[in-house]
Structure 1
Amino acid sequence: MFLSCGSTRAAGVAILFMENTVNNILQCYTDNKGHCVSVTFSAFSQHFQLTNIHAPNVEKDRCAFFRSLDALCSDGAIIVGDFNVWRSRLDAPVGQFGWDGSRTVLEELLSNRDMSEIWRDLNFGVREVSRRQLVLNSLTQSRLDFVIAKRALSSLFHGVHYKFIGFSDHAALKFNLAAIAHIRTGGNGVLIPPY
């Protein structure tokens, strides 16, 4: 288990590996703020850098955070988690899509580091939600949880979908990698089974 614990109830991320799933952990990085944990490992003769994030809620902080992710976008990079920004109108509640500077920073990161958002690439033009929140007795739904990866890895992803589970307002984001059984994320944790 690899953790980055924050000092408030709103931060904290984890990556958990089931025993005997990954035997060669090469490096671990945490930001010590509860926003990022990254583990580099090898599996099936390939290096992967799996990063789980919970982006800050404040736009200015989110911009700086997305810029800092550039250092984690090496070959084999997979970044999953709560990005706290809508990438397009399809991700936002109807009528609520507006300017957000962190969106521009994220899009620049994807373009400059040759990365793609896997779910959206597989579901072009589809509206889906990954977060459900009750605000003033009204249900607000949006898609804030993404898996981004180097384009060279995109063909390895299969079965990417969201599934709401009982203990979180965020859906689990589950996907299969051709090289590694399957990965499930949600509630700011990443679990690599088999289970």
Structure 2
Amino acid sequence: CLGVAIFKKKDSVEGTREVYKDQRGRILVVEFIYGGMNFRLINIYVPNIEVDRREILEELKGLVVGKCIIVGDFNIKCSRLDVGKGVKVRWEKSRGIGMLMEIMREKGLLDVWRYENPEKREFTRRQLKEGTLKQRLHDKSHAIFNAHLVSKAVL
């Protein structure tokens, strides 16, 4: 059984219920009550394959409602700070960036890590591949490779 998962500490929130999960294990949605308010938590994995990426992002668009927190791996670079130095990206063709930004605008989502760290560049993974250092962006509540997006209503 592969896919995304959500774990919670016993008695940390009330009324937890699964709302949706896709058959491939790439999206899991739960709702819960915390501090007397209803929240929706979405854990998502967006694959690198373009057709699958568009399908998953389209599915995500319909799931973002209310006070929503989205965590997961989007595999999308949204700015030059999201790639290693010297890496060339054709931004006009950057896979999925336009669709994700549109969802963020339409649904009032904020990339919390990038909002709090507008000029910071950090990486979670370093890999030497064919003599070249490959890096993956850091997750400290991070942005877009590993993202925490929230509805502005949550803040």
Report the TM-score range of the alignment, normalised by the length of the smaller protein: 0.7 to 0.9
Question: Conserved in 2, the CA contact under 8 Å of 1:131 and 1:141?
Answer: yes
Alignment of 1:97-116 (within 5 A): 97-98=89-90, 99-116=93-110
Question: Conserved in 2, the CA contact under 8 Å of 1:130 and 1:145?
Answer: no
Bigger fraction of residues in strand:
1
Shift of 1:17: 1.0
Alignment correspondent of 1:76: 67
Distance 2:28 2:134 in 1: 28
C-alpha distance after superposition, 1:99-127 (max 9, x if no partner)? 22411100000011111111000011211
Alignment of 1:7-86 (within 5 A): 12-86=3-77
Alignment correspondent of 2:146: 145
Distance 2:154 2:126 in 1: 30
Aligned residues: 145
Distance 1:43 1:146 in 2: 21
Shift of 1:27: 3.7
Does 1:96 find its partner at 2:97?
no
Over the matched positions of the two proteins, sequence identity in percent amounts to: 32
1:138 maps to a residue whose letter is: T
Alignment correspondent of 1:174: none
Instruction: Name the TM-score, length of structure 2 as normaliser.
Output: 0.85
Instruction: Name the TM-score, length of structure 1 as normaliser.
Output: 0.69
Structure 2, gaps ≥5 residues long: 138-144
**Is the partner of 2:7 in helix, strand or coil?**
strand
1:92 maps to a residue whose letter is: V
Question: Conserved in 1, the CA contact under 8 Å of 2:28 and 2:43?
Answer: yes
Structure 1, gaps ≥5 residues long: 7-11, 155-195
Distance 1:26 1:86 in 2: 32
Which among 108, 111, 118 is matched to residue 112 of structure 2? Answer: 118
Shift of 1:139: 2.7
Shift of 1:23: 2.8
Shift of 1:135: 2.4
Q: What value does the CA root-mean-square deviation take over the aligned residues?
A: 1.6
2:94 maps to a residue whose letter is: D
Shift of 1:137: 4.4
Which among 121, 129, 132 is matched to residue 127 of structure 1? Answer: 121
1:97 maps to a residue whose letter is: V
2:4 maps to a residue whose letter is: V
